[in-house]
A and B are shown apart, each in its own frame.
Chain A
Amino acid sequence: MADWANHLIIAPIVLPLVAGALLAVYDERRQFLKGLINLFSTLANLAIAITLLQAAAGDAPGVYLLGNWPAPFGIVLVLDRLSAMLILLTAVLATASLVFSMARWHTVGHHFHTLFQFLIMGVNGAFLTGDLFNLFVFFEVMLASSYGLLLHGSGPRRVQASLHYVVINLTASFFFLIGVALIYGVTGTLNMADLAARIPALAAQNRVLLEVGAAILAMAFLVKAAMWPLGFWLLSAYPAAAPPVAAIFAILSKVGLYALLRLRPMLFGGEAGDAAGYGGTLLFAGGLATIAFGIVGVLASQAMTRIASFSLMISSGTVLAAIGLSDTQVTGGALFYLASSTLTIGAFFLLIELIERGQNPGADLIAVTAETMGTEPDEEDTAIARGVGFPGTLALLGACFLACALLLIGLPPLSGFVAKVALLAGLFAPAGEGSAAGLPVANWAFIVLLLLSGVAALMTLSRVGIRAFWAPVDAVAPRVLAVEVAPVVALLLLTLILSVKGGAVMQYMDDTARSVLAPSSYVEDVLSAPRVPPAKAGLQ
């Protein structure tokens, strides 16, 4: 039984790999079969993710030695609370966006299902790997599939957006490689746990090189996480992507955040000697700048897809700032916020397409988007047959929009509120200080920006909501299939569950934050992971 559970750690990588390869074999004319295989694989992935989460919540990190080589020499996969939670988040989002795409979107281009599975594989691998270079490989798997998915549906706007997206991400990959090479040159290892064990003993003259390497490496992650001066690519890429693709892309920026959250305490945590705490201020300031930029962007946006993209930047910035503070309680709140905001923004991207279907294509893409990209309406949008779908469509869409708005603003009863309260509670009670001492300025700045982001979301979303639902006099209800609304509703219900089960979830997040910020047990578990004893020879 234990053996079987241990091998399950590699399943989130192997399953999408096999499914993706299988899907590549089938002809494009057999869309239904391909969709079925993809759906089966995605659901299996979801089941595996749930099992892994239960396993990770119970005990210490599960370590999987590939090829049975001991840890610093071979490649390891490590499952702990953080990776289990993110894998589950990926699986949930993937299921929702796949079901949504089955209505129509998966047929507008080639190899959607194959690329989709490889994307899942890359994301899962990045969350599981315990090795810097493998992190690079899984990053590239993920990025290569995302290039293909961004192009899905083609059209001038998407091709233009992907050109920028690919060039920027390739450049970021070079930073990744230079950073990894520098770190290897200084420490002689790429295993994350081994790095954590070796850094305290590093000679003083090598520390500068290590810090330079880590800073260059972090550039790659910050580009992915869309920190303020590095994140402008997101605003042309995400609104251009097909809606189910944009929804699954909501998890991609979280991979950058994950890498920072994982590596920073490990490399520059409390036990790192002189190097401890390196880069914290910069991450914190960058996070705040990202939130500020996102607030301005949300207020200035007309198109809903751009509002969603700026909201994604705000959520990235919030988590970044929390990583920079590296306080246990704040990090716990940030993890809850990360889960909640990923589900919200995924649902929002799906919902936007359904809402805008009913409107004149491009009606509210006023000057703002016309200037940044061609004004050509997408041919898919004009091709949609209009007419009434099932009754109450508009009411249902309106309710979903309201739920998304509540989540983005951070009002009860949904999880956006719980997440913000958890973050604020952590910020108001800095660890190790009496309540008599005043709050640091940094905390105040964070608190103010966090609340302002809610206000900005409130103003913009009410403006957009009124225009979309109340202002049109002869509103024609868009033709929406149940299979398209269901994933949106399911994602929003999940946020309700997150908030109803808030206590238990928060407990899990706090445990996660504690283990992430004090990675000594992770390091020990990886470095002392027992090898599987050789099987007895069968012939005796």
Chain B
Amino acid sequence: MALLLATCIGILAGSGVWLLLRPRTYQVVIGLSLCALAVNLFIFSMGRLRSGAAPVLASTAGTLADYADPVPQALVLTAIVIGFATTALLLVILLAARGLTGTDHVDGQER
């Protein structure tokens, strides 16, 4: 599972960074979204990989080792919300820039 997750994060981050360096604004937005996914998965993995373990204490039976770490999950939630909002704002700026400059190049003019 660790290998699979690491590969996923790697592919997402790699494609994200490549798109981020492209000259079209839309590619940049998609690149940022892919990077955000990679980062979220990464935060998740920092709470150690567990399957079938609840993050919330249900009973006093057992030890804490039977549960997943709730903090990274809370962090991921916050990061998703913030990333979502800022991407929406970026899309608006992208459209405004397209309208004002007449091109979708990130520098506002073709090279």
Contact = CB atoms under 8 A, between A and B. Distances in A.
B86 A166 contact: yes
Contacts of B47: 185
Interface stretch (A26-34, A167-175, A470-478): A167-175
A45 interface: no
Given A174-B35, A177-B39, A164 B86 contact: no
Contact of A160 (B71, B79, B108): B108
A229 interface: no
A171 B42 contact: no
Contact of B79 (A143, A177, A184): A177
Contacts of A173: 82-83, 86
A318 interface: no
Contacts of B100: 155-156, 159-160
A147 B97 contact: no
Contacts of B32: 167, 170-171
Nearest to B86: A170
A217 to B, nearest CB: 13
B75 A180 contact: yes
A182 B100 CA distance: 41
Given A163-B97, A170-B32, A174-B36, A137 B82 contact: yes
A315 interface: no
Contacts of B101: 156, 159-160, 374
A133 interface: yes
A202 interface: no
B20 A171 contact: yes
B7 interface: no
B46 A185 contact: yes
Interface residues of A, number: 32
Interface residues of B, number: 33
Interface of B: 20, 25, 28, 32, 35-36, 39, 42-43, 45-47, 71-72, 75, 78-79, 82-83, 85-87, 89-90, 93-94, 96-97, 100-101, 106-108
A166 B90 contact: yes
B12 to A, nearest CB: 12
A525 interface: no
The list of the 5 closest CB pairs from A to B, nearest first, reads A185-B46, A181-B43, A181-B46, A156-B100, A160-B108
A151 interface: yes
Contact of B86 (A133, A144, A178): A144
Contact of A162 (B45, B79, B93): B93
A137 B75 CA distance: 10
Contacts of B86: 140, 143-144, 147, 166, 170, 173
A190 interface: yes
A181 B42 contact: yes
A328 interface: no
B89 A178 contact: no
Contacts of B46: 181-182, 184-185
Interface in A168-204: 170-171, 173-174, 177-178, 180-182, 184-185, 190
Contacts of B107: 160
A163 B104 CA distance: 11
A341 interface: no
Nearest to A143: B86
A159 B93 contact: yes
A181 B96 contact: no
B108 A144 contact: no
A156 B101 CA distance: 7
A164 B101 CA distance: 14
Contact of B75 (A144, A151, A162, A181): A181
Given A144-B85, A156-B101, A174-B35, A137 B78 contact: yes
Contacts of A162: 93
B95 to A, nearest CB: 10
Interface in A98-147: 133, 136-137, 140, 143-144, 147
A253 interface: no
A154 interface: yes
14 contacts: A136-B78, A144-B85, A147-B89, A160-B101, A163-B93, A166-B89, A166-B93, A167-B20, A167-B32, A170-B86, A171-B20, A174-B35, A181-B46, A181-B75
